[in-house]
Structure 1
């Protein structure tokens, strides 16, 4: 047990060291859907990223909410999109509704004999828990707006150097690694959504959950940009909700482990923020995927209709010890058997003590001598 705990402590320490090294060695933080750029003297990390992709056959929407930590007072978030996009603030309640929709079903499974975690085997339980027609060489600002704490610019560019110019004009430096990672998008004439993040209070570091943004653009097939995640220095996890007319799946694994479908099913009478987003795209698919080596990410996730609309839902088996009046049934059974055995032994002893003692047979006199 000491070795297991020591290994866990070592794993946590190494993870923290990896995060610190990532902060100090790279001023660009790659998330599942874009990249964050900060002042090289500052650091920022995205501790949580939630995304939902909606596609109705003609138009795609991506709703994202990032939770950030660090000491940066401002940052820029770069998001490539295949067509010109509109940007709006989204309702954060949609993520709570999605989490409720895909929550696992809990079923109780009773067991008679005690297991690890049940008395008397609970003394060592440690509570460990079992995711853009651009002008040559220049940036075209096709729109700029203020959305809450965000200064949003929609840009076109044919050369990453043009994006570099815009970032410098707004107080940021385009890292060389990010410039190279953007080249495939430039070659395919994608556009960019560049968002300047700043907290509401002057001089306050960025932190906590940011307001979610909703990007809308034309799409003849659903695509989730992932290429910039190649920049990440630590293993990455993808958690993606997909709303469409049918169950969806990634076309390939793009260099990660095989994607898993943790939920699939039609939403019945969704309401509120989720109801508005799911209108015309009522089938929800929840996907997860691990990328142990982000440098192997080979492209963006292109999604396609699955061969079946069979529902999928996780089932969590909650093991529960059988009890009678709050007392473990096995303990009552063992105690009862012990009492019965003791009673049987006592009864046998009493019967033996009450058994009459027979007198010895008479001794016959010796025969007379002749």
Structure 2
């Protein structure tokens, strides 16, 4: 795929998805990882959307799949992103058609409710350490993806700096926790011939995992609010929480339902959509996200109700009928009274 074709598709998708790209400080973090522009340049990250599932919809296979779509702007041709994973990741291009299909499936259906009664108004730098092991290098159009195994935080930081990843001190300080837990890293770099003007083409990460997770901890270093939408596929409805901690305070489930016999059924049997917002990432983000089955598969967000007023000349039809009935009753009583008076 040519670089210009990838960029054109990216820009169209970002506009279609309604991404709100908000400027952030250089070398900041997005919720999915650590943003690393080249020294002296700036990068802005907007909303991120992620499809989280088991590869081929098979939980027993033990391979998690994350399809990531970002809205990104940069002032330089070289822009990087560090994405931690619990196992070595294989990186490939995702398919933006998957995101479009999810949008179609999760569009709620309109249900009309007729209102016969309501009156309405008319018209209403670190010391040296062991360098990371490069496990793989993949070129995906204008994006280079390097999968790393790191046993030493200082060595990882040196490798990142030497390879043009200008992470902020706040982000590099958070890398140590991932190294200690034995996680791996994917270093992504834009290697095209022009700055990004809309976003990255969807990327797919696959890695071994015992449970569905989403790396979030690096975004504690973000200096601006973070907005994340995740589409989680599994056998049942899911709940979200921080690993070893409670649920995110500002999060809600916007859609949840079985997707069997739909165009996205290949990802899993049940889809849960989470909307997360972190106004103060440094204090509100307590770690990475993990997901688990809820007690039931309650359906949420598949319908929205529209009230249709039923009336005449601004008067609800129910009250009109009541009025007609009252007038008719009085009329009948009057007729009976008149007839009785004449007979007497």
Fold conserved (TM > 0.5)?
A: yes
1:74 CA displacement: 1.8
Q: Do the aligned residues in 1 keep the contact of 2:73 with 2:199 (CA within 8 Å)?
A: no
Is 1:236 aligned with 2:231? no
Q: Do the aligned residues in 1 keep the contact of 2:28 with 2:221 (CA within 8 Å)?
A: yes
Is 1:192 aligned with 2:182? no
> How is 1:57-96 mapped onto 2 (pairs within 5 angstroms)?
57=60, 58-96=62-100
User: 1:285 matched to which residue of 2?
Assistant: 272
User: 1:349 matched to which residue of 2?
Assistant: none
Q: Do the aligned residues in 2 keep the contact of 1:105 with 1:313 (CA within 8 Å)?
A: no
Aligned partner (choices 309, 313, 321) of residue 297 of structure 2: 309
Q: Do the aligned residues in 2 keep the contact of 1:65 with 1:213 (CA within 8 Å)?
A: yes
Cα distance in 2, alignment partners of residues 171 and 185 from structure 1: 21
The aligned length equals 285
Q: Do the aligned residues in 2 keep the contact of 1:39 with 1:72 (CA within 8 Å)?
A: yes
User: 2:315 matched to which residue of 1?
Assistant: 330
User: 2:14 matched to which residue of 1?
Assistant: none
| Secondary structure, aligned partner of 1:312 | coil
| Secondary structure, aligned partner of 2:88 | coil
CA RMSD of aligned residues (A): 2.6
With 301-310 and 164-173 compared, the bigger mean Cα shift is at 164-173
1:83–1:331 Cα change, 3 Å: closer
Cα distance in 2, alignment partners of residues 212 and 85 from structure 1: 15
Q: Which runs of 5+ in 2 are unaligned?
A: 1-21, 324-344
| Secondary structure, aligned partner of 2:171 | helix
User: 1:346 matched to which residue of 2?
Assistant: none
User: 2:240 matched to which residue of 1?
Assistant: 250
Aligned partner (choices 201, 205, 211) of residue 215 of structure 1: 205
User: 2:332 matched to which residue of 1?
Assistant: none
1:331 CA displacement: 10
Query: Which of 1 and 2 has greater Rg?
Result: 1
Is 1:49 aligned with 2:64? no
Q: Deviations over 1:208-261 (max 9, x none)?
A: 132111111111111111101101122222211111112111245757315322
> How is 1:1-370 mapped onto 2 (pairs within 5 angstroms)?
22-23=24-25, 27-55=26-54, 56-57=59-60, 58-111=62-115, 113-115=119-121, 119=123, 121=124, 137-199=130-192, 202=193, 204-252=194-242, 254=246, 256-257=248-249, 259-271=251-263, 274-276=264-266, 278=267, 281-296=268-283, 297-322=285-310, 329-330=314-315
Cα distance in 1, alignment partners of residues 265 and 290 from structure 2: 25
Cα distance in 2, alignment partners of residues 48 and 259 from structure 1: 15
Greater RCO, CA 8 A, separation 6+: 2
Q: Which runs of 5+ in 1 are unaligned?
A: 1-18, 122-135, 338-370
